[in-house]
Amino acid sequence: MDAFLQGLKAVVDSLGATVLLPIVIFVIGLVLGAKPGRAFRAGVTIGVAFIGINLVLGLMFTSLADVAQAIVKNTGIQRDIVDVGWPSAAAIAFGSSVGLWVIPVAIIVNVALLLTGLTRTLNVDVWNFWHFAFIGSLVVAATNSLTYGIVTAALMAALALLFADWSAKAVQKFYGVPGVSVPHLASAQIMPIAIAINWVIERIPGINKIEISTDTIQRRFGVLGEPVVLGLVIGLVLGLIGYYNAGGIEVVVTKVLQTGMNLAAVMLILPRMVKILMEGLIPVSEAARDFVKRRAGDREILVGLDSAILIGHPAAISSALILVPIAILLSVVLPGNRVILFADLAVIPFLVAMAAPVLNGNVFRMVIVGAVTLAVGFYVANALAPLFTSAAVGAGFKLPANAVQITSVVDGFLWISYVVVQLVQGLGIAGLGVILVLIAAAFWGFRRNTRAWEHAAGAEPEATVTGGRTVPAE
């Protein structure tokens, strides 16, 4: 069995998401009854779209990483917990003992919840199962129990489906991605924080009237407010902050202009890649609808995808770019912080994207929510760094030079990781029971009052949303 699982993990690692996902989509399309030709074209189109998305993200990651490292260098800060980035976290997760089991376990959980009607999401984002394995590997490091780690991974797979169902209508409405949900814990974990902070902001006179969204900026400033120009302006500002002392005037001007143009390109091209992705999803969504209708009436099945499909929205990118220098500032001023951000600053768009529907794309509120989420994340990272490092050593990961401990923004900053690890480490099997009960209660609450949950997440079709506030229709 271990040999089979090891082989399965090796296949996933070698193929990568851009090859694995089209194969999965093709097979699912056939199972759902789509014609082979349409299923094949859908899989290829989705694969091409993800390649395009990854190319654009690579451009963004490179630009942001370079400017962020320049800003960090300018601050002169020194810390002993080093951010090694999400690729390292994924390698640690899949290289751990839990990583061998996570794919079959997560698939079993998904199928079971689909068959019982507890979820509407079919999670085809197999490569990102590493997030479940990562939290499971932290539990193994804390308890030295593989069983606890595998059960934790299974529970996280279920929790991701809950978040996906909860946010689905809000995500579809705001981002214009019908038939899709996002079972991505690293992105979904901001939703409860966004709901709570939005509630507080609504009760602060003056502050609750501030509305800064990309739509209002474009209406007021015309061409200067268009996403591509907005990306250029934000890139130029970040470039100036990072490279003002990079050398002679020619070097500074070159680096600043390159940063501006690169981020302008991201703002323009990324949404178009997402449109190609949605074109590929249409045949699968239609087949899923017909399949379910033949067997379960009007029940809806959603295709669970990576949150990469969301970050092309101007509100997500704009707020994330503004948060880059704020994140670095937080690493300097937060008392007791030992984390230095390095590799994962470019993933901030993934952390804030799912706050956009809750806040109706109000960039002002998204920056506030993002800053609070990051501040909490720093303390989570400080607390989890010893277990993160232990899991990395256990998976054979080589620590960077001069790093006493390591972390990453994904998934080392997640409050979900901290809560789960603390419960299992402190209570053992009883902690797993508490997590199971909480997730089961949340599923029950969502099914009991789906409308209220979806309203809280930002999906209320009978309401008008203004400045992040929801006003019932007359």
Per-residue pLDDT tens digits for 459-469: 865 444 444 44
Structure tokens at 59: 């451009």
Using CA of residue 222, residue 226, residue 229, residue 233, what is the dihedral sign? Answer: positive
User: For residue 45, which of 219, 369, 230, 284 has the smallest C-alpha distance?
Assistant: 284
Which single residue is written with the structure tokens 């996280």?
156
For residue 74, CA distances in Å to 77, 179, 199 come to 8, 45, 37
| Domain residue limits, the chain | 2-463
Is the per-residue pLDDT at 180 higher than 80?
yes
Q: Hey, is 345 helix, strand or coil?
A: helix
User: How far is it, in rounded angstroms, from Cα 185 to Cα 86?
Assistant: 13
% residues pLDDT > 90 (the chain) = 25
Pairing of strands 302-304, 121-123: parallel
Q: How many CB atoms lie within 10 A of CB 111?
A: 12
**At CA 53, angle to CA 110 and CA 119, rounded to 5?**
15
Q: pLDDT tens, 128-163? A: 888 999 999 999 989 989 999 999 999 999 999 999
User: For residue 422, which of 409, 435, 441 has the smallest C-alpha distance?
Assistant: 435
The reported pTM is: 0.79
- The mean per-residue pLDDT over the stretch 370-396 comes to 89
Is the per-residue pLDDT at 2 higher than 70?
no
